[in-house]
A = this chain, B = another copy of it.
Amino acid sequence: MIYDYAGMVALADPTRRKVFELIADRPRSVIDLTRVLPVSQPAVSQHLKVLKEARLVRAEPKGASNIYHLDPHGLGEMRAWLDRMWGDALDAFKREVDNSKEKRK
Contact = CB atoms under 8 A, between A and B. Distances in A.
Instruction: Report, as a range, how many residues of chain A touch the other chain.
Output: 20 to 34
A92 B79 contact: no
Given A8-B8, A89-B70, A89-B75, A96 B26 contact: yes
A39 interface: no
Contacts of A17: 5
22 contacts: A1-B21, A8-B8, A8-B11, A9-B12, A12-B12, A20-B89, A24-B88, A24-B89, A24-B92, A24-B93, A26-B96, A27-B96, A70-B89, A70-B92, A70-B93, A70-B96, A72-B90, A72-B93, A75-B89, A75-B90, A75-B93, A82-B82
Interface of A: 1, 5, 8-9, 11-12, 17, 20-21, 24-27, 69-70, 72, 75, 79, 82, 86, 88-90, 92-93, 96
